[in-house]
Amino acid sequence: MYTRHMPTASPVHDKPQPTAPRQVTGMRPRVVWLIITALIFSSGFFIGRYIYPAGEIQYNPLDYVRLDDSGHRQLVFHTFWEAWDQLHRNFIGEIEDKDLFYGAVQGMVRAVDDPYTVFEPPPETKQFEETIQGSFSGIGIEIGVREGAVVVISPLAGSPAELAGVQEGDIIVAVDDEPITGNMGLDDVVQKIRGQKGEPVKITVVRKGADEPLPITVTRDTIAIKSVNLSFDNDIAVIEITNFNGDTAKRFNEAAREVIDRHARGVIVDVRNNPGGFLEAAVEIGSRFIEKGQTIVSERDKDGNSKEYAARGNAVLQDIPTAVIINGGSASASEILAGALLDQRNVPVIGTQSFGKGSVQEFLKLSDGSSLRVTVAKWFTPSGRSINEEGISPTLAVEQDRDTDEDEQLQQAEEELQKIIAGQSG
């Protein structure tokens, strides 16, 4: 996600997460409403500044900002308005004031040099909010940044992107033949991939093992995310969590009741290619497995302050042998859940290293319908291990062969559970 959206990473859909929790982009279930102040320039102010089309640049008290408690002030906005006026006087083409204004705010936010700190104007904010509700139009991938490259965290299960052949770990180098350059933000790439249902988009990717870049054309479509899928293999329940969105905790609780009703002897939690979502959902699901009061995840801000999120009770799956499957597409909330189960239950974790998206984005809804997602903290597992950039290491590394229909990671998870069950019986 991210709300604390544990973006989530960024969802690339025609798209969007709601006026809600912080997404772990990871986000907590609360909305922080931010009033646009002089620092963000109210619309009345920037219109007022522009009514001076000639002559000297006019000064305004809002051109100054307090720097510290000693009362020192520094002129900061004069150059901004000077550039604004000169553009209007000299630019040969048409200029939309709204585009200039939102572009200026986006540039300011991008200057912090964090791919997950993003400003979005009202239309994109609305799309983001729709996405976390579980239905949207797009190609169905989540992207992030690794070592300066735009990487596919995962294609959503059954999405147009997955069906077209996009894979976790693909590096996007061009969209519709326009190269991805170093000065583009993650939000720029998202905007290029978004579009209307039924329209194609070509993304060019670099893939490990491929001799040259691969062009993949994907047709955008409406995507309904079913965030929890339950299946049974004899006496083993397999709960696949594809996303941590607004209804995931509710759907997981329904699955947990069925697991108990059917007297499953073991549970496999499959968070492969799950790019994350709401912290609230991860904590709620973790509470089904972990004793009340035990830490699920801790959050540390820039000042070193720590806040712990503990299991809330109703640990109905606590005594059932459990295993987790992860891969490089498991990010954010997925890593929080896997890390908590590993540290607090010592469950086997099967698969490959997770993505390492362990930063917290606060979703801030602005008064004009635009929004900020701001990185405010980093996540740590109960044992104190950093999730950010490091990810979760499997206790049993198993690569998945893409050339076979066999799910080797799932098979290994079942074998590990059967060993635990046999040990309990003996």
Give the single-character DSSP code of 341: H
Query: Is 353 among the catalytic positions?
Result: no
Cα distances (Å, whole numbers) of residue 304 to 64, 223, 300, 348 = 31, 40, 6, 31
- Phi and psi (nearest 5°) for 258? -70, -35
- Cα separation, 6 vs 331, whole angstroms: 8
Q: How many other CB atoms sit within 10 Å of the CB of residue 400? A: 16
Chain-centre distance for alpha carbon 79: 35
Q: Which among 211, 150, 162, 195 is positioned nearest to 14, based on CA atoms?
A: 195
Q: Which one is catalytic: 10, 127, 137, 361?
A: 361
Q: Which one is catalytic: 15, 126, 192, 357?
A: 357
Query: Is 419 among the catalytic positions?
Result: no
3-state DSSP assignment of residue 344:
helix
- Cα separation, 323 vs 414, whole angstroms: 8
- Beta strands of 244-285 (E only): which ranges? 266-270
Query: Is 231 among the catalytic positions?
Result: no
- Phi and psi (nearest 5°) for 362? -90, 130
In the numeric block, which tokens belong to residue 421? 């069950």
Query: Among all residues, which ones are annotated catalytic?
Result: 332, 357, 361
